[in-house]
Structure 1
């Protein structure tokens, strides 16, 4: 397995694990996620707790598949991640186009409204997932060096991706109210 495959899988694992944690940490987190789907202006079939549970279950299943040190399960996890990320990008785009003004509940509570940067983030992650699937299938045996370096790099990158809204807010200059 190559560094690219391991790094991609670790990055995606971190993203999907943090997404599950943010949405299903407690009843309030889950209720906020369900209400955000309504605020996004999605069709009625996608605005209920059953569909929200399905989303969380798919994200959790993807994280588990990505963590299993097997070529086949890793590649399947990457493909599942790519499909979900494209679906999330489409849902966010629907919300943005309809003028929805809901905050991002991708990884739990956030004050950042959904927008084009969230669509772009998900599409870039989907490309990373497809690259990860290809690298996982093309890679060789799993060895300690690539596992350690690629795994740590991917986990760090995944953590930064999940905190992107916070990092942008941290480095955005405050506007004066003159």
Structure 2
């Protein structure tokens, strides 16, 4: 189970690093993220800036905690990630259910409107975070070479998750 912990940490660390970097890389990027949060209309107008900051802070917390090679830090990262991703899955599902067209700003500029595939992605990531949490709670020894291999695997999956819209467009006929 320790290898599930390692792979899940690296997947979430990679994915959240790319997501956060795309949001805070410039004033314009941040403004577009806040505007997409506003367009989702899942929180009141007055709460939009705070919701955007809270989402970015939670992503930052996951990044920092996932990078700390201590069991408690990984467990905390997985709990925060599962909570954040669960909230995002519900928020995106609400947007999709209303039939509202809001572009996905999860990983920066995108023209892809939020859809069912984004709900699926977030639910899968919640499952990964919960599997990682389970892995972080189990004692056992780790082979450093195997841990490195599964860590690279997790990081590559994190990169693929960050390109979710592109992957879905390749698999779904227009």
> When the two structures are superposed, what TM-score results if normalisation uses the length of structure 2?
0.92
Deviations 1:74-122 (A, max 9, x none): 0111111111100000010111112210111111111111011101110
CA contact (8 A) 1:33 1:52 kept: yes
How far apart are residue 57 of structure 1 and its match? 0.9
Structure 1: gaps (5+ residues) = none
Look up the match of 2:130: 130
Look up the match of 1:66: 66
Helix, strand or coil: the match of 1:110? coil
Look up the match of 1:89: 89
- What is the number of equivalent residue pairs in this alignment? 174
Does residue 50 of structure 1 match 2:39? no
- Cα distance change of structure 1 residues 51 and 70 upon mapping to structure 2, 3 Å threshold: same
Cα distance in 2 between the residues matched to 1:110 and 1:50: 23
How far apart are residue 170 of structure 1 and its match? 4.7
Helix, strand or coil: the match of 2:137? helix
> When the two structures are superposed, what TM-score results if normalisation uses the length of structure 1?
0.90
Structure 2: gaps (5+ residues) = none
Look up the match of 2:160: 160
Look up the match of 1:32: 32
- Cα distance change of structure 1 residues 42 and 19 upon mapping to structure 2, 3 Å threshold: same
How far apart are residue 136 of structure 1 and its match? 1.3
Look up the match of 2:145: 145
Runs of 4+ in structure 1 over 6 Å off: none
Cα distance in 2 between the residues matched to 1:3 and 1:75: 14
- Cα distance change of structure 1 residues 120 and 30 upon mapping to structure 2, 3 Å threshold: same
- Cα distance change of structure 1 residues 171 and 127 upon mapping to structure 2, 3 Å threshold: closer
CA contact (8 A) 2:58 2:81 kept: no
How far apart are residue 26 of structure 1 and its match? 0.7
How far apart are residue 44 of structure 1 and its match? 1.0
Helix, strand or coil: the match of 2:100? coil
CA contact (8 A) 2:8 2:128 kept: yes
Helix, strand or coil: the match of 2:111? coil
Name whichever of 91-100 and 143-152 sits farther off.
Answer: 143-152
RMSD of Structure 2 on Structure 1 (CA): 1.7
